[in-house]
Chains A and B, each alone.
Chain A
């Protein structure tokens, strides 16, 4: 505890030079690693499923045919595992670590978190197996059978409620942007998830209102939980690693409130032209455009911080920041593209094509997942007390994933735009997507090898830390 106050002096000396883990970190080491390992395992499974579905789209479906492996099942399972398996587990871990660090919060009930992690991942496994068995709902990211919903919500509360407790109990009155975003995200997800479950699966709303509810849920999930958590990490790692203040930080409050205020309104922009009342569609367009305000402010914050004093080149030479900055740029880009293509003229062309897939990948992968990778490169060595086993694998990981996501997103966007302009109906993705799926898989395997190698090496200092 005092260790940190000590280092509140000019930024001259490397702080926290104690080899043992701080008490704060020792407490959450177990749950963190459990979440993290689950996340990486799900990421690998999702990448394999992604490769299978890319092959299926190219007509190589004969490799894996039959009832369980229809394209509908494989893509739904891949989507769910990527979001609920990879992104959720990873952000459970990172959010817990971040808020504990920032609020000096000692996790006393680690067993509850562990329980939450186990329940979450077991339920998710059941839910995904149900999808393959053909027991699925026709709403994307709510495909898992309806019994799964309440259990997942309970597990979420067990796993992700702690940032709110940590925030409420922080020792000083001071707070930081990362904390707000994490508290908001942790609060919003279970609420919207349960409401969406109720209005879609348990007591379905009437007719097309279901589509409105669903689009609202998806935006809350992707923007507020996934996006909000990733923004929290960027707000932390930029000043932390660069050792300087966020440029224009006083605007971060505005960014936070406008982000949460407008994100919930953007959903129906994905329903332009659908049989829902015109005013609902237009409200979605307005929401998407208003979301530019937080996008612009975070861009001022992030890119301003990076632009001063050779920040970009220093970021490039730090593994953590290289990933995190990739994510920060992707977020700005994603916000601009989403706003532009929520306008009727453009949306009319790209709707129902692969363009939407590209937009989502830009948000959930190029932005959120890259930030997760960056955070992992920072946090894991501290928690395990070990080095990353191979620098080459780190390089391979970055270049494989960066090239794959750049290629995949731009292919989706370009092909979507082209096929929307042709009257001949939407075509499949470019065959290059098989290549990108392989590239993703290579990058993820490199990351997993490196991370698991490090975790396996780390048992000794961990025990030491735990008996602190």
Chain B
């Protein structure tokens, strides 16, 4: 405790240890993860999203949707996400490999959106949901460009395919 350098070195070590053991090693484990198919000749998942959906993701971030919506389905043994109908299978790391910024979220004031595209009825119901009783009507100003992009993004959110780590039950 008397030696300042030792104190600093010790504190540095306490930062470096979890950084190396958790952050760097999980990056080493998951950094190379890419799209995959469950079998020979099957399609690769997750699918690439259309350009409009990419713009919609920017709208999602910029409006601050993440304050109320998560995008992750926990396994059946860890919470009631699957029982609530948020998804048919738990989310796995591979589902997010194409996302430049992962929008897992940590608070659910609204429903989880990881599988929104799979359970949305049609485009008009998506727009009803986006408006939230009028609070987000500003997205429809002009030619509703941002609302359309956001709808395309929401429809692109699906985890209803089998992944090598989490297969859908037949």
Contact = CB atoms under 8 A, between A and B. Distances in A.
B65 to A, nearest CB: 6
Nearest to A217: B23
State the main secondary structure of chain A at its contact with B: helix
Contact of B7 (A183, A210, A270): A183
A456 interface: no
A270 B106 CA distance: 9
Nearest to A77: B64
A351 B64 CA distance: 20
A401 interface: no
A357 B106 CA distance: 10
A265 B22 contact: yes
Contacts of B65: 72
Nearest to A195: B19
B80 A167 contact: no
Interface in A197-256: 199, 204-213, 216, 220, 253
Q: Which of B15, B32, B75 is packed against the most chain A CB atoms within 10 Å?
A: B15
B22 A216 contact: yes
A274 B74 CA distance: 6
Contacts of A138: 61, 66, 101, 103, 105
A275 B22 contact: no
Given A207-B93, A207-B99, A423-B84, A356 B1 contact: no
Nearest to A283: B22
Interface residues of A, number: 78
A180 B101 contact: no
A66 B105 CA distance: 23
A367 interface: no
A465 interface: no
Given A273-B78, A275-B90, A180 B22 contact: no
A257 B10 CA distance: 8
Given A175-B1, A273-B79, A275-B90, A209 B30 contact: yes
A-B pairs with lowest CB-CB distance, top 8: A72-B64, A273-B74, A264-B18, A273-B78, A72-B67, A352-B108, A134-B62, A275-B91
Interface of B: 1-2, 4, 7-8, 10-12, 14-15, 17-19, 21-23, 26-27, 29-33, 61-68, 70, 72, 74-75, 77-81, 83-84, 90-97, 99-109, 111, 135-136, 138
Interface of A: 57, 61, 65-67, 70-73, 75-76, 134-138, 140, 164, 167-168, 173-175, 180, 183-184, 187-188, 191-192, 195, 199, 204-213, 216, 220, 253, 257, 260-261, 263-265, 267-268, 270-277, 280, 283, 287, 344, 347-349, 351-354, 356-357, 423, 425-426, 428
